[in-house]
Protein backbone atom coordinates (compact mmCIF):
# COMPACT_ATOMS: atom_id res chain seq x y z
CA UNK A 1 0.00 0.00 0.00
CA UNK A 2 1.13 3.57 -0.56
CA UNK A 3 1.50 6.07 2.26
CA UNK A 4 -1.45 8.21 3.28
CA UNK A 5 -1.27 11.97 3.66
CA UNK A 6 -1.14 11.72 7.45
CA UNK A 7 1.65 9.13 7.26
CA UNK A 8 3.65 11.43 4.99
CA UNK A 9 3.04 14.26 7.46
CA UNK A 10 4.39 12.11 10.32
CA UNK A 11 7.44 11.15 8.25
CA UNK A 12 8.17 14.80 7.37
CA UNK A 13 8.03 15.75 11.03
CA UNK A 14 10.54 13.02 11.86
CA UNK A 15 12.91 14.26 9.17
CA UNK A 16 13.01 17.58 11.05
CA UNK A 17 13.93 15.82 14.32
CA UNK A 18 17.21 14.24 13.20
CA UNK A 19 19.52 16.66 15.02
CA UNK A 20 17.40 16.58 18.16
CA UNK A 21 17.31 12.77 18.17
CA UNK A 22 21.09 12.64 17.88
CA UNK A 23 21.52 15.18 20.69
CA UNK A 24 19.11 13.30 22.95
CA UNK A 25 20.92 10.05 22.24
CA UNK A 26 24.26 11.64 23.14
CA UNK A 27 22.83 12.95 26.40
CA UNK A 28 21.38 9.58 27.37
CA UNK A 29 24.48 7.58 26.40
CA UNK A 30 26.43 9.82 28.79
CA UNK A 31 24.26 8.59 31.70
CA UNK A 32 26.01 5.48 33.10
CA UNK A 33 23.18 2.99 33.60
CA UNK A 34 25.08 -0.29 33.36
CA UNK A 35 25.70 -3.04 35.88
CA UNK A 36 23.13 -1.95 38.43
CA UNK A 37 24.61 1.55 38.81
CA UNK A 38 21.78 3.00 40.91
CA UNK A 39 22.53 6.70 40.41
CA UNK A 40 22.67 6.31 36.63
CA UNK A 41 19.57 4.15 36.46
CA UNK A 42 17.58 6.65 38.50
CA UNK A 43 18.85 9.54 36.34
CA UNK A 44 17.96 7.77 33.09
CA UNK A 45 14.57 6.79 34.46
CA UNK A 46 13.86 10.39 35.46
CA UNK A 47 14.78 11.62 31.97
CA UNK A 48 12.45 9.07 30.41
CA UNK A 49 9.62 9.90 32.80
CA UNK A 50 9.84 13.56 31.86
CA UNK A 51 9.90 12.72 28.17
CA UNK A 52 6.87 10.42 28.44
CA UNK A 53 4.88 12.98 30.45
CA UNK A 54 5.68 15.64 27.87
CA UNK A 55 3.85 13.47 25.33
CA UNK A 56 0.70 13.72 27.43
CA UNK A 57 0.97 10.37 29.18
CA UNK A 58 0.37 9.63 32.83
CA UNK A 59 3.17 7.70 34.51
CA UNK A 60 3.16 5.21 37.34
CA UNK A 61 5.72 3.06 39.09
CA UNK A 62 5.68 -0.72 39.35
CA UNK A 63 8.18 -2.16 41.85
CA UNK A 64 10.59 -4.86 40.75
CA UNK A 65 10.60 -8.19 42.53
CA UNK A 66 13.68 -9.27 44.44
CA UNK A 67 16.22 -11.04 42.26
CA UNK A 68 17.11 -14.54 43.53
CA UNK A 69 20.54 -14.16 45.08
CA UNK A 70 21.97 -17.45 43.83
CA UNK A 71 21.60 -16.43 40.16
CA UNK A 72 24.77 -14.32 40.26
CA UNK A 73 28.28 -15.31 41.38
CA UNK A 74 29.20 -13.54 44.63
CA UNK A 75 31.62 -11.18 42.88
CA UNK A 76 28.96 -9.80 40.51
CA UNK A 77 25.95 -9.38 42.77
CA UNK A 78 26.16 -5.60 42.55
CA UNK A 79 24.77 -5.82 39.01
CA UNK A 80 21.12 -6.14 40.04
CA UNK A 81 19.07 -2.96 39.67
CA UNK A 82 17.91 -2.94 43.30
CA UNK A 83 15.55 -0.12 44.25
CA UNK A 84 14.76 1.00 40.69
CA UNK A 85 11.12 0.63 39.62
CA UNK A 86 9.59 -0.23 36.27
CA UNK A 87 8.23 2.95 34.66
CA UNK A 88 4.85 2.75 32.90
CA UNK A 89 3.48 5.60 30.78
CA UNK A 90 -0.15 5.47 29.63
CA UNK A 91 -1.51 7.72 26.90
CA UNK A 92 -5.26 7.95 26.37
CA UNK A 93 -6.84 7.67 22.97
CA UNK A 94 -9.62 6.00 21.02
CA UNK A 95 -9.40 2.57 19.46
CA UNK A 96 -7.07 -0.32 20.22
CA UNK A 97 -4.23 0.23 22.70
CA UNK A 98 -0.66 -0.62 21.67
CA UNK A 99 2.18 -1.54 24.03
CA UNK A 100 5.71 -0.23 23.54
CA UNK A 101 8.54 -1.61 25.62
CA UNK A 102 12.18 -0.84 26.22
CA UNK A 103 14.94 -1.08 28.80
CA UNK A 104 17.16 1.67 30.13
CA UNK A 105 19.94 -0.45 31.60
CA UNK A 106 23.09 -1.43 29.68
CA UNK A 107 25.84 -4.00 30.17
CA UNK A 108 28.64 -1.44 30.32
CA UNK A 109 30.91 -0.68 33.28
CA UNK A 110 29.85 2.75 34.61
CA UNK A 111 33.43 3.44 35.71
CA UNK A 112 35.19 2.62 32.44
CA UNK A 113 36.47 5.19 29.93
CA UNK A 114 33.76 4.13 27.46
CA UNK A 115 31.34 6.81 28.60
CA UNK A 116 30.12 9.00 25.75
CA UNK A 117 28.84 9.02 22.18
CA UNK A 118 31.59 9.76 19.67
CA UNK A 119 31.41 9.99 15.88
CA UNK A 120 33.43 7.26 14.15
CA UNK A 121 32.76 8.20 10.53
CA UNK A 122 30.41 6.91 7.89
CA UNK A 123 27.39 8.39 9.64
CA UNK A 124 28.03 6.23 12.69
CA UNK A 125 28.81 6.89 16.34
CA UNK A 126 30.03 4.68 19.18
CA UNK A 127 29.05 4.72 22.84
CA UNK A 128 27.77 2.54 25.69
CA UNK A 129 24.22 1.42 25.04
CA UNK A 130 23.89 3.59 21.93
CA UNK A 131 22.24 0.72 20.03
CA UNK A 132 21.17 -1.53 22.90
CA UNK A 133 18.99 0.22 23.52
CA UNK A 134 19.10 3.94 24.22
CA UNK A 135 18.89 4.59 20.50
CA UNK A 136 15.72 2.51 20.38
CA UNK A 137 14.18 4.58 23.17
CA UNK A 138 15.02 7.80 21.32
CA UNK A 139 13.35 6.75 18.07
CA UNK A 140 10.30 5.28 19.81
CA UNK A 141 9.64 8.53 21.65
CA UNK A 142 10.28 10.57 18.50
CA UNK A 143 7.74 8.42 16.61
CA UNK A 144 5.12 9.01 19.30
CA UNK A 145 5.85 12.74 19.29
CA UNK A 146 5.48 13.00 15.51
CA UNK A 147 2.19 11.07 15.64
CA UNK A 148 0.88 13.40 18.33
CA UNK A 149 2.01 16.56 16.53
CA UNK A 150 0.35 15.36 13.33
CA UNK A 151 -2.93 15.26 15.26
CA UNK A 152 -3.37 11.49 15.05
CA UNK A 153 -5.02 10.05 18.17
CA UNK A 154 -3.33 6.91 19.45
CA UNK A 155 -3.77 4.93 22.65
CA UNK A 156 -0.50 3.52 23.92
CA UNK A 157 1.36 2.20 26.94
CA UNK A 158 5.13 2.48 27.23
CA UNK A 159 6.75 0.03 29.67
CA UNK A 160 10.38 0.80 30.58
CA UNK A 161 12.37 -1.69 32.63
CA UNK A 162 15.66 -1.32 34.55
CA UNK A 163 16.96 -4.90 34.46
CA UNK A 164 16.58 -6.41 30.98
CA UNK A 165 20.30 -6.97 30.56
CA UNK A 166 20.36 -9.14 33.69
CA UNK A 167 17.33 -11.18 32.66
CA UNK A 168 14.31 -9.06 33.73
CA UNK A 169 13.85 -11.28 36.77
CA UNK A 170 12.74 -8.26 38.77
CA UNK A 171 10.45 -6.79 36.10
CA UNK A 172 8.97 -10.01 34.67
CA UNK A 173 5.79 -9.82 36.78
CA UNK A 174 5.25 -6.17 35.79
CA UNK A 175 5.74 -6.97 32.10
CA UNK A 176 3.21 -9.77 32.19
CA UNK A 177 0.74 -7.66 34.15
CA UNK A 178 0.91 -4.90 31.51
CA UNK A 179 0.39 -7.18 28.49
CA UNK A 180 -3.40 -7.77 28.71
CA UNK A 181 -5.66 -5.23 27.03
CA UNK A 182 -3.27 -4.41 24.19
CA UNK A 183 -3.66 -5.28 20.52
CA UNK A 184 0.08 -5.73 19.86
CA UNK A 185 3.49 -5.12 21.37
CA UNK A 186 6.64 -3.48 20.02
CA UNK A 187 10.04 -3.75 21.72
CA UNK A 188 12.82 -1.44 20.59
CA UNK A 189 15.81 -3.76 20.55
CA UNK A 190 18.21 -2.98 17.67
CA UNK A 191 17.48 -4.34 14.20
CA UNK A 192 18.50 -7.93 13.57
CA UNK A 193 21.31 -9.19 11.38
CA UNK A 194 21.10 -7.65 7.92
CA UNK A 195 18.48 -5.14 9.11
CA UNK A 196 16.10 -8.02 9.67
CA UNK A 197 12.93 -8.06 11.73
CA UNK A 198 13.27 -10.89 14.25
CA UNK A 199 10.07 -12.95 14.31
CA UNK A 200 11.20 -15.93 16.39
CA UNK A 201 13.44 -16.24 19.45
CA UNK A 202 14.70 -19.11 21.53
CA UNK A 203 13.90 -19.18 25.24
CA UNK A 204 16.43 -19.01 28.07
CA UNK A 205 16.85 -20.12 31.65
CA UNK A 206 19.56 -20.02 34.30
CA UNK A 207 20.86 -22.71 36.59
CA UNK A 208 23.48 -23.29 39.26
CA UNK A 209 25.35 -26.50 40.03
CA UNK A 210 26.68 -26.59 43.57
CA UNK A 211 28.92 -29.33 44.94
CA UNK A 212 29.70 -30.07 48.58
CA UNK A 213 32.69 -32.12 49.72
CA UNK A 214 34.91 -32.24 52.81
CA UNK A 215 37.80 -29.83 53.24
CA UNK A 216 41.16 -31.18 54.40
CA UNK A 217 44.86 -30.34 54.32
CA UNK A 218 46.05 -31.35 50.87
CA UNK A 219 49.36 -32.76 52.17
CA UNK A 220 48.77 -34.17 55.65
CA UNK A 221 45.14 -35.30 55.36
CA UNK A 222 44.39 -35.63 51.68
CA UNK A 223 42.74 -39.02 52.11
CA UNK A 224 40.32 -37.54 54.64
CA UNK A 225 39.11 -34.91 52.18
CA UNK A 226 36.39 -35.19 49.55
CA UNK A 227 36.88 -32.84 46.61
CA UNK A 228 33.86 -30.72 45.75
CA UNK A 229 35.72 -29.60 42.60
CA UNK A 230 35.91 -33.18 41.34
CA UNK A 231 32.18 -33.68 41.99
CA UNK A 232 31.39 -30.40 40.27
CA UNK A 233 33.56 -31.28 37.26
CA UNK A 234 31.59 -34.47 36.71
CA UNK A 235 28.30 -32.56 36.95
CA UNK A 236 29.52 -29.86 34.55
CA UNK A 237 30.55 -32.42 31.92
CA UNK A 238 27.22 -34.23 32.30
CA UNK A 239 25.31 -30.93 31.95
CA UNK A 240 27.18 -29.86 28.83
CA UNK A 241 26.58 -33.28 27.28
CA UNK A 242 22.85 -32.41 27.24
CA UNK A 243 23.46 -29.76 24.56
CA UNK A 244 22.35 -30.35 20.98
CA UNK A 245 22.53 -26.96 19.22
CA UNK A 246 21.36 -28.37 15.89
CA UNK A 247 18.15 -29.49 17.61
CA UNK A 248 17.67 -26.18 19.41
CA UNK A 249 19.11 -27.19 22.80
CA UNK A 250 22.02 -25.17 24.19
CA UNK A 251 23.77 -25.56 27.55
CA UNK A 252 26.55 -23.14 28.42
CA UNK A 253 28.46 -23.09 31.72
CA UNK A 254 30.63 -20.39 33.21
CA UNK A 255 31.70 -18.84 35.51
CA UNK A 256 33.09 -21.35 37.99
CA UNK A 257 34.13 -21.13 41.62
CA UNK A 258 35.88 -23.78 43.71
CA UNK A 259 38.37 -24.04 46.50
CA UNK A 260 40.10 -21.44 48.64
CA UNK A 261 43.75 -22.44 48.15
CA UNK A 262 45.78 -25.05 46.29
CA UNK A 263 46.85 -26.75 49.52
CA UNK A 264 43.28 -27.40 50.68
CA UNK A 265 41.02 -30.16 49.39
CA UNK A 266 38.02 -28.04 48.29
CA UNK A 267 34.90 -28.47 50.36
CA UNK A 268 32.66 -26.37 48.12
CA UNK A 269 32.44 -25.56 44.42
CA UNK A 270 29.83 -23.99 42.16
CA UNK A 271 29.13 -23.32 38.49
CA UNK A 272 26.58 -21.04 36.84
CA UNK A 273 24.99 -21.91 33.53
CA UNK A 274 22.60 -20.80 30.84
CA UNK A 275 20.03 -22.81 28.90
CA UNK A 276 18.61 -21.98 25.45
CA UNK A 277 15.72 -23.88 23.91
CA UNK A 278 13.51 -23.58 20.86
CA UNK A 279 10.36 -25.22 22.24
CA UNK A 280 8.65 -25.67 25.63
CA UNK A 281 9.22 -29.43 25.56
CA UNK A 282 12.95 -28.80 25.08
CA UNK A 283 12.92 -26.59 28.17
CA UNK A 284 11.13 -29.27 30.18
CA UNK A 285 13.51 -32.01 29.02
CA UNK A 286 16.65 -29.98 29.73
CA UNK A 287 15.31 -28.93 33.13
CA UNK A 288 14.47 -32.49 34.14
CA UNK A 289 17.87 -33.76 33.00
CA UNK A 290 19.68 -31.04 34.94
CA UNK A 291 17.73 -31.74 38.09
CA UNK A 292 18.62 -35.41 37.67
CA UNK A 293 22.27 -34.50 38.28
CA UNK A 294 21.50 -33.72 41.93
CA UNK A 295 22.47 -36.41 44.39
CA UNK A 296 23.22 -36.91 48.06
CA UNK A 297 21.44 -35.85 51.25
CA UNK A 298 22.41 -33.08 53.66
CA UNK A 299 25.57 -34.12 55.42
CA UNK A 300 26.49 -36.69 52.78
CA UNK A 301 29.56 -36.06 50.63
CA UNK A 302 30.09 -35.63 47.83
CA UNK A 303 26.73 -33.98 47.27
CA UNK A 304 25.46 -32.00 44.27
CA UNK A 305 22.58 -29.53 44.41
CA UNK A 306 20.90 -28.04 41.33
CA UNK A 307 19.01 -24.74 41.30
CA UNK A 308 17.13 -23.59 38.22
CA UNK A 309 14.91 -20.69 37.17
CA UNK A 310 12.82 -20.56 33.99
CA UNK A 311 13.79 -17.08 32.80
CA UNK A 312 12.31 -16.27 29.39
CA UNK A 313 9.99 -18.68 27.50
CA UNK A 314 10.63 -19.39 23.82
CA UNK A 315 9.02 -16.88 21.44
CA UNK A 316 7.73 -18.73 18.37
CA UNK A 317 6.36 -17.33 15.12
CA UNK A 318 2.59 -17.48 15.67
CA UNK A 319 -0.07 -16.55 13.09
CA UNK A 320 -0.66 -13.30 15.01
CA UNK A 321 3.05 -12.44 14.95
CA UNK A 322 3.19 -13.27 11.24
CA UNK A 323 0.30 -10.87 10.52
CA UNK A 324 1.96 -8.16 12.60
CA UNK A 325 5.27 -8.70 10.82
CA UNK A 326 3.50 -8.38 7.46
CA UNK A 327 2.17 -4.96 8.47
CA UNK A 328 5.66 -3.78 9.45
CA UNK A 329 7.24 -5.22 6.30
CA UNK A 330 4.70 -3.35 4.16
CA UNK A 331 5.52 -0.11 5.98
CA UNK A 332 9.25 -0.66 5.41
CA UNK A 333 8.70 -1.30 1.72
CA UNK A 334 6.67 1.91 1.42
CA UNK A 335 9.68 3.70 2.93
CA UNK A 336 11.86 2.18 0.22
CA UNK A 337 13.56 -0.59 2.20
CA UNK A 338 13.18 -4.35 2.07
CA UNK A 339 12.63 -5.98 5.46
CA UNK A 340 13.80 -9.60 5.74
CA UNK A 341 12.56 -11.75 8.62
CA UNK A 342 15.04 -13.37 10.98
CA UNK A 343 15.40 -15.76 13.90
CA UNK A 344 17.82 -15.64 16.81
CA UNK A 345 18.98 -17.48 19.89
CA UNK A 346 19.01 -14.19 21.77
CA UNK A 347 16.24 -13.30 24.18
CA UNK A 348 14.59 -10.08 25.32
CA UNK A 349 11.48 -8.69 27.01
CA UNK A 350 9.50 -9.63 23.90
CA UNK A 351 9.72 -13.24 25.11
CA UNK A 352 8.04 -12.33 28.41
CA UNK A 353 5.33 -10.22 26.80
CA UNK A 354 4.43 -12.81 24.18
CA UNK A 355 4.30 -15.51 26.87
CA UNK A 356 1.57 -13.38 28.47
CA UNK A 357 -0.53 -13.67 25.29
CA UNK A 358 0.51 -10.53 23.42
CA UNK A 359 1.75 -10.75 19.79
CA UNK A 360 5.10 -8.95 19.81
CA UNK A 361 7.77 -7.73 17.41
CA UNK A 362 10.98 -6.82 19.18
CA UNK A 363 13.59 -5.40 16.79
CA UNK A 364 12.02 -2.02 16.02
CA UNK A 365 15.07 -0.12 17.29
CA UNK A 366 18.08 1.40 15.56
CA UNK A 367 20.61 -0.12 13.22
CA UNK A 368 23.77 -0.85 15.14
CA UNK A 369 26.40 -3.43 15.94
CA UNK A 370 29.07 -4.78 18.27
CA UNK A 371 26.50 -4.97 21.03
CA UNK A 372 27.83 -5.43 24.57
CA UNK A 373 31.33 -4.44 23.45
CA UNK A 374 33.35 -1.28 23.96
CA UNK A 375 33.03 -0.48 20.26
CA UNK A 376 29.23 -0.68 20.17
CA UNK A 377 27.97 1.54 17.39
CA UNK A 378 24.78 3.10 16.07
CA UNK A 379 23.83 4.32 12.61
CA UNK A 380 23.09 8.01 13.22
CA UNK A 381 22.11 8.52 9.59
CA UNK A 382 19.42 5.88 10.08
CA UNK A 383 17.71 7.46 13.10
CA UNK A 384 15.10 9.16 10.94
CA UNK A 385 14.08 6.23 8.74
CA UNK A 386 13.99 3.84 11.72
CA UNK A 387 11.75 6.28 13.59
CA UNK A 388 9.59 6.55 10.47
CA UNK A 389 9.29 2.76 10.36
CA UNK A 390 8.29 2.69 14.03
CA UNK A 391 5.67 5.39 13.48
CA UNK A 392 4.12 3.68 10.45
CA UNK A 393 4.16 0.34 12.29
CA UNK A 394 2.20 1.88 15.17
CA UNK A 395 -0.29 3.70 12.94
CA UNK A 396 -0.99 0.75 10.65
CA UNK A 397 -1.23 -1.77 13.48
CA UNK A 398 -3.76 0.42 15.28
CA UNK A 399 -5.76 0.81 12.07
CA UNK A 400 -5.68 -2.94 11.34
CA UNK A 401 -6.76 -3.73 14.91
CA UNK A 402 -9.60 -1.24 14.65
CA UNK A 403 -10.79 -2.88 11.45
CA UNK A 404 -10.68 -6.34 13.00
CA UNK A 405 -12.56 -5.09 16.06
CA UNK A 406 -15.27 -3.54 13.89
Helix 5-15, helix 383-405: angle, nearest 10: 150
User: Are residues 121 and 20 located together in one domain of the fold?
Assistant: yes
Return the DSSP state at 266: -
Helix (H, G, I), strand (E, B) or coil at 261: coil
For 153-175, the pLDDT digits (tens) are 999 999 999 999 999 999 999 99
For 175-210, the pLDDT digits (tens) are 999 999 999 999 999 999 999 999 999 999 999 999
User: Are residues 325 and 306 located together in one domain of the fold?
Assistant: no
CA 32 to chain centre: 18
Closest residue by Cα to residue 186 from 331, 11, 55: 331
pLDDT at res. 76: 80
User: Are residues 153 and 70 located together in one domain of the fold?
Assistant: yes
Asked which of 266, 291, 312 is the last residue of a domain, the reply is 312
Closest residue by Cα to residue 388 from 336, 322, 326, 349: 336
Domain limits for position 140: 5-201+315-405
Q: Write the CATH number for 398.
A: 3.40.630.10
User: Are residues 35 and 126 located together in one domain of the fold?
Assistant: yes
User: Are residues 220 and 90 located together in one domain of the fold?
Assistant: no
Closest residue by Cα to residue 206 from 106, 133, 290: 290
Whether residue 4 is predicted with pLDDT greater than 90 in this model: the reply is: yes
CA 357 to chain centre: 18
User: Are residues 329 and 308 located together in one domain of the fold?
Assistant: no
Give the alpha-carbon dihedral of 17, 22, 25, 27, to 10 degrees: -110
pLDDT at res. 406: 61
Structural domain count of the chain = 2
User: Are residues 263 and 344 located together in one domain of the fold?
Assistant: no
Q: Write the CATH number for 301.
A: 3.30.70.360
For 255-276, the pLDDT digits (tens) are 999 999 999 999 999 999 999 9
User: Are residues 142 and 266 located together in one domain of the fold?
Assistant: no
Amino acid sequence: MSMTDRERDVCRRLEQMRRRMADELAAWVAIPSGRGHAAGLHAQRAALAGRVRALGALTRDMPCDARPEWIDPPWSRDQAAAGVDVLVGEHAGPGPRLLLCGHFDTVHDPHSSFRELKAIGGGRASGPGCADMKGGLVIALAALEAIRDAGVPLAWTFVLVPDEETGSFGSDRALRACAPGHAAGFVFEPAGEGDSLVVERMGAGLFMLEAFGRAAHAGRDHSKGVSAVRALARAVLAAEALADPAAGRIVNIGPLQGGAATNIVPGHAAAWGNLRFARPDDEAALGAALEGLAHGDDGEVPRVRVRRIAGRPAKPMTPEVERLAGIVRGASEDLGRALPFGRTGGVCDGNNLQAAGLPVLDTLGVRGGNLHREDEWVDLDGLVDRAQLAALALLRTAEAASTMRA
